[in-house]
Structure 1
Amino acid sequence: MSTTTTSHSPESEGPPEAGGREAGGRGARIIRNEATTEIPVHLLFRDEPEPLSVALAPAVVNRRRGTGEQPRIARRAPAPLRPRRAPEVDPDLVERPARVLPGTAGVLAGALGATGCVLASWWAGVLPPLAVDALGLPVHAGAGLGGPQWATLAGCGALALFGFGGLARGRTGRAWVLGLFGRYRGTVRRTGLMWVNPLVLRRRIDVRLRHWRSEAIPAVDANGVALRVVVLVVWRVRDTARAALGVEDHQLYLRECVEAALARVLARLPADLSPNAPGAADSATLRNTEAVSDALTRLVAAEAAAVGLQVYSAQPLGVEYAPEIAAVMQRRRIAALDAQHRDTVLTSVVDSVEDTVTRLTARGLVELDDYERKALVKDLTVAFYTGHGDR
C-alpha cells in the first residue's frame, strides 16, 4: 500500500489548539509573529451585518391628528397622606382622679398636732414660762420627759407634719400628677386649697391651651428644593398620665413629631410651578396653605395622641426658600421680568411702526417700494425703541 504525503503551508503550521479548527473540520489559519499573539485570520475578515430593510419613522406620542399639537400632560394630585400606626403605650397608663381631701382637713389635723405638742410640753414641764403666760396656762412643775411624754410629743408632731405638709394649692389650668414609690396614683385637677398625701411625688403639668411657634425648620419639596418653614402648633395636654409618664419630655416629642410630619407633607408637593408648565393651573403646590395645614394637622395629631396630647392645628406661617436657593430664584425672577418688559416694549414698538407705515401709505402721503419700505421700518423701529428706552 502506498501512502500519500500532503504538504502543509507555513501559515498552517503550529501546535494544535482547542479552538484551532473550524466547524467544517478544516484547520484555522493563524497569523503569528514575535510581537503579537496568535490571531485567527477568519476573525480579521468578519462579514458586516446586513442593514435593516425596514425604514424607521419618527415616533409621535399622542399627537393630535391634523394639528401637530402635543398633548398637555396634567400633573396628578398626590394621594392623601395616611397617618402611620401610632406607637404603643402602656394601656393601663390612663389618667384617673387621685384621692385628696379638702384643705380644711389638713389645717385641722395640723392644728390638733401642734396643740398636742404644746400640751405635752406643758405636761412635761419643759414649756418656757413666757409661752405659759402667753397661752394662759396654769403653772405646772411637771414630771419631766419620760416615756409617755415622748410618745405624746412624737404622735402630735407627726400629726402636725402630715397636716401642714400635705397642704397644696390647685390652680386653674394646672394639674398634679401623683406617684408613690414609682407607681402612678392619679391626677389632681381640683383648684383651691386641698390636702394631698405628703409622701407622694408631685409633678405639675400645664393643661391650658398652648401654642408653639417653631424656628425655621429645614425641609425639601417634591423637586428637592431646599426650604425653610415656620410652623404654628395649637395644642394642649389631654391625658396627664401619658404626657408625664409615657414619654420623657412631651414638649420635645411634639416638636419632633412636627418636624417629621412636615418632612412628609412638603416632600409630596412642589414649592411653586412655572406658569407655562403643563397642567400648572390644576396642580397643587405648597402655596395652598389650607391643604398643607390640614394634612400636617392630621399627621401631627395622630402621632401626638399616643402620649396624651391633643393637637388642634398645625399650620405653616411661612414657606421660604433657603438662602442659597432664594438668591438663585431672585436672579431668575429678575431675568424673567426683564425679558417680559423687553417683549412688551418690542411689541409696542412693532405695533407703532406698523400703524405709522400703514397710515402713511393709506393716505397717499408717500409712495414706497420694497427697499424704501424696509429702510423706513428700520429707522422708525430704532427711533421708537430709543424713545421707549429713555422713559
Structure 2
Amino acid sequence: MKEEKIITPVDGYLILFVFILLIILGGIVLAMQNPIGVFMIIFAVILVKGFVMVQPNNSRVLVLFGKYVGTINKNGFYWVNPFFTKKKVSLRASNFDSERLKVNDKLGNPIMISTILVWRVKNTYKAAFDVDNFENFVRVQTDAAVRKLASMYPYDNFADEGHEEDITLRSSVNEVSEALEKEIQERLSIAGIEVLEARIGYLAYAQEIANAMLKRQQATAIVAARHKIVQGAVSMVEMALEELNKKDVVDLDEERKAAMVSNLMVILCGDKEASPVLNTGTLNQ
C-alpha cells in the first residue's frame, strides 16, 4: 500500500513576484503592439492556478492526472504545478458524538448507549484514497464498534444470578473506555485516522425494562443494607451480653438471654423507633 509523501513546494511569494512582473511586462509589450505580450499575460494567468495557501493544522493532497504526487502539511503560501488537483484534508482534532443506539448487552438486556470520539487524520493518503468518505467512515465504524463493545460486557453485576463479571459497562469506566478506544482504532486505521479519546457518553437501560431494572437495583440495595444492619446488630448484642456477664450486673438464664437477644434484634433491625415499656414489677411479670 502506498504511504503518505510529505513535500515542500516552491515559495508562493517568489512566484507572485514573477506573476506581477509578467503582467506589467506583458502590458508594456502589448502596448507596443507586439503579440508576445498576449502570451506573457496568458502565462501569468496560468501561474495563478498554482497558488495554494495552507492554514495551520490543514493539508493539501496533490494529484496530477490521477497520480498521487504528495501532501503539503506545513502552513504557508506556496506555488505548485497549475495542473495539480489540490484536495483539502483537515488535520485538526474533531469531536464526534454518536447517536443513542439500542443494543443488547452480554446478558441480553436491551440498553441505550452512545459514545464520544475525538479523532484526527494521521495519514492523508489513506484518508483521501483508501476510503470513499473518511468522515462518514468514522461515523459508521464507530457505531459498529459500540454495538460490538456493548455485547461483550453486561450492563451491571447481578450476584443473585451468578453473573459476577469483573468488568461492567456501568462501573468499569476506564476498562470499557480502553477497550472501546482499541476497537475503534483497529477499525479506523485503514483510513489513516488516529483515535485520541473514546468514551461512553450515555448509558441506560432501554425504556421497556428501565422500571423493572430500577426496582431490581433498589431491592439489591435494600438487601445489602439489611445485611449490614443485621451484622452490626449481632455484634452489638454479643457485646452487650459479654459486658453484662463480665461486670456481673445481672444473672440471666438461657431463657432470659434469648428474650433479651430477641428484643435487642427487633429494636436494632426495625425500621421504626422502638417504644420503650417500663416494667414496674419483677422480671417474671
Place the TM-score, normalised by the shorter chain, in its bin: 0.7 to 0.9
Q: How many residues align?
A: 264
**1:105 aligned residue:** 14
- 1:134-153 matches, within 5 Å, as 149=34, 151-153=35-37
Query: In the aligned structure 2, how far is the partner of 1:345 from the partner of 1:301?
Result: 48
Counterpart of 1:236 (choices 107, 113, 120) is 120
The CA deviation at 1:260 is 1.8
- 1:182-197 matches, within 5 Å, as 182-197=66-81
- 1:1-391 matches, within 5 Å, as 91-92=1-2, 94-98=3-7, 100-124=9-33, 149=34, 151-278=35-162, 280=164, 283-286=166-169, 287-337=171-221, 388-389=271-272
Deviations 1:227-285 (A, max 9, x none): 222323232211111101221211211222222222222212211112445472x6332
Which amino acid counterpart does residue 108 of structure 2 have in structure 1? G
Which amino acid counterpart does residue 258 of structure 1 have in structure 2? T
Aligned pair in 2 of structure 1 residues 123, 220: CA closer, same or farther (>3 Å)? Answer: same
Which amino acid counterpart does residue 153 of structure 2 have in structure 1? L
Which amino acid counterpart does residue 63 of structure 2 have in structure 1? G
Query: In the aligned structure 2, how far is the partner of 1:232 from the partner of 1:283?
Result: 24
The CA deviation at 1:120 is 2.5
Conserved? CA contact 2:119–2:196, under 8 Å: yes
SS, match of residue 204 in structure 1: strand
Q: TM-score, normalised by structure 1?
A: 0.56
Conserved? CA contact 1:106–1:166, under 8 Å: no
Query: In the aligned structure 1, how far is the partner of 2:110 from the partner of 2:196?
Result: 28
Deviations 1:152-208 (A, max 9, x none): 232111222133332222222100012233332221123211112333222111113
SS, match of residue 181 in structure 2: helix
Query: In the aligned structure 2, how far is the partner of 1:95 from the partner of 1:344?
Result: 62
SS, match of residue 152 in structure 2: coil
Q: TM-score, normalised by structure 2?
A: 0.74
Conserved? CA contact 2:58–2:88, under 8 Å: yes
Query: In the aligned structure 2, how far is the partner of 1:311 from the partner of 1:364?
Result: 74
Aligned pair in 2 of structure 1 residues 202, 316: CA closer, same or farther (>3 Å)? Answer: same
Conserved? CA contact 1:219–1:229, under 8 Å: yes
Query: In the aligned structure 2, how far is the partner of 1:242 from the partner of 1:342?
Result: 59
State the identity as a percent.
23
Which amino acid counterpart does residue 167 of structure 2 have in structure 1? A
Conserved? CA contact 2:30–2:36, under 8 Å: no
Query: In the aligned structure 1, how far is the partner of 2:232 from the partner of 2:71?
Result: 76
Query: In the aligned structure 2, how far is the partner of 1:241 from the partner of 1:253?
Result: 15
Conserved? CA contact 1:113–1:158, under 8 Å: no
Unaligned segments of structure 1, at least 5 residues: 1-90, 125-148, 371-375
Aligned pair in 2 of structure 1 residues 341, 235: CA closer, same or farther (>3 Å)? Answer: closer
Query: In the aligned structure 1, how far is the partner of 2:27 from the partner of 2:69?
Result: 35
SS, match of residue 71 in structure 2: strand
Higher strand share: 2
Bigger mean CA offset, 181-190 vs 245-254: 181-190
Aligned pair in 2 of structure 1 residues 291, 364: CA closer, same or farther (>3 Å)? Answer: closer
Aligned pair in 2 of structure 1 residues 275, 121: CA closer, same or farther (>3 Å)? Answer: same
Query: In the aligned structure 2, how far is the partner of 1:96 from the partner of 1:351?
Result: 74
